[in-house]
Amino acid sequence: MASPSIPERYVLLGLRLGKHLDGLIDGYFGPPELKDAVDAEEPAAPEALGEEAAALLADVEGWNEDPQRRRWLAGQGEGLVCVAELVAGTQVGWRDAVRRCYGLDVEPIPEERFAAAHEQLEAALPGDGDLAERLQAWNRSQELPAEKVVPAFDALVERLRAETSKLVELPAGERIDAETVTDQPWSAYNWYLGDRKSRIEINTDLPTRSYFFAQLVAHEGYPGHHTEHSCKEARLVQELGHIEASILLIHTPECLVSEGIAQNAIVQALGEDWPAQAAETLRPLGIPFDADTARAVVHAYHELDDVPVNVAYFVGEEGWSEERAVAYHQRWTLSEEDRARKSVEFATHPVWGIYVPTYAHGYRLVKSSPLPFRTLLTEEITTADLLV
């Protein structure tokens, strides 16, 4: 049997590490024989996988291949070297793990930024009195009835898919199926199944708000995660034979790029005035959507998206207790305690804790990138490409 190529070694390494870290493999639609081979193996020792990851990274650096493809695989390899250390039980600091996995150096955001966002909310929200109470009351007025979650999803998908087709050619046969779930640390999740199909799970542990739900559907579907994964499967894997793109791995730079795409998705599809467009789409369903106030709230929330990053940093780097983290989250996001606890649960999760910065930092990097959005959806782009 011929020795595996560098892309095949990358896929095999990801599959082997996935046996040690549940949740590492976000999707696989590559050669079945590679997965069958790993499934038939006994789990390799984490230390051996660390050596395998380091050897792969060294070989990628000298790989005689397209520079961008080599650049992408090198970034991915850096992340997997860190993952191998984590599964071996090596103590890696939160900030160091974020830097190594995502190519991103994170420091706490000054709280003055959050205070400025509070001033924006003071001016935008109706009524007077305590700001947190006003925000929470307004948010409750924008909640989707549980029985309208799926109809609202379907309506938004139809609209967003039509607009996304103007941004990028959607692959033939691509499709989304949605279902509601409970007892998860996230609000929604796209499970990319391969063959240009996704299953999107919507968590109904807490009521969702119309303006947030519109962003969620774009984020997970069109032109967010589903669009990116189906376009990259069609172009990179099926057309170009880049099998390294057939495995989606958490804790690698591709995640920061992917979350940046998804966080900017609704603006790309519907424009800066997307709240008015989304409200129009949902109006026939009788769903409350105060588009005028939502514009200001969403703008402020983009600043407050860094609050969970600070929480993850302070818990991981300074050892904050859960209670201190919840209080900090409530103070700056002005949220109810149950929502603060849900966010802190995610920010301190053993798998997802170092993932938290991908949202806020990915959003800013993609928003400011000169790369066309279509390029982000179809090519192998890594964090370093966004930092240029």
> Model's pTM, two decimal places?
0.95
Please report the pLDDT score of residue 224 as a whole number: 98
Task: Give the chain's mean pLDDT.
Answer: 95
204 backbone dihedrals φ, ψ, rounded to 5°: -105, 25
Question: What would the pLDDT profile of 92-108 be if each residue is shown by its tens digit?
Answer: 999 999 999 999 999 99
DSSP designation for 110: P
| Sign of the four-CA dihedral 324, 82, 366, 377 | negative
Instruction: Kindly tell me the number of DSSP H helices and DSSP E strands found in the chain.
Output: 20, 5
Please report the pLDDT score of residue 205 as a whole number: 86
Question: What would the pLDDT profile of 42-79 be if each residue is shown by its tens digit?
Answer: 999 999 999 999 999 999 999 988 999 999 999 999 99
- Select from 252, 260, 256 the least CA-distant residue to 302: 260
Question: What would the pLDDT profile of 304-347 be if each residue is shown by its tens digit?
Answer: 999 999 999 999 999 999 999 999 999 999 998 998 998 898 88
Q: Is 197 helix (H, G, I), strand (E, B) or coil?
A: strand
What is the rounded distance in angstroms from the CA atom of residue 268 to the CA atom of residue 27? 25
Q: Within 13 A of 52's CA, how many CA atoms are on the CB side?
A: 21
What is the rounded distance in angstroms from the CA atom of residue 139 to the CA atom of residue 265? 22
Distances (CA, A) of 260 to 24, 202, 225, 281, 369: 19, 20, 10, 25, 10
> Domain boundaries in the chain?
6-102, 111-387
- Strand intervals (E) in 4-129: 25-28
Residue 348 has pLDDT above 90, yes or no: no
Please report the pLDDT score of residue 58 as a whole number: 96
Residue 178 has pLDDT above 70, yes or no: yes
Please report the pLDDT score of residue 339 as a whole number: 86
| Sign of the four-CA dihedral 202, 206, 211, 215 | negative
Please report the pLDDT score of residue 369 as a whole number: 97
Report, as an integer, the average pLDDT of 115-123.
96
What is the rounded distance in angstroms from the CA atom of residue 40 to the CA atom of residue 383? 34
Residue 229 has pLDDT above 90, yes or no: yes
Please report the pLDDT score of residue 206 as a whole number: 82
Report, as an integer, the average pLDDT of 278-295.
97
- Helix-strand-coil split of the chain, %, nearest 5: 65, 10, 30
Question: What would the pLDDT profile of 69-91 be if each residue is shown by its tens digit?
Answer: 999 999 999 999 999 999 999 99
What is the rounded distance in angstroms from the CA atom of residue 344 to the CA atom of residue 361? 18
Question: What would the pLDDT profile of 184-228 be if each residue is shown by its tens digit?
Answer: 877 899 999 999 999 999 998 888 999 999 999 999 999 999 999
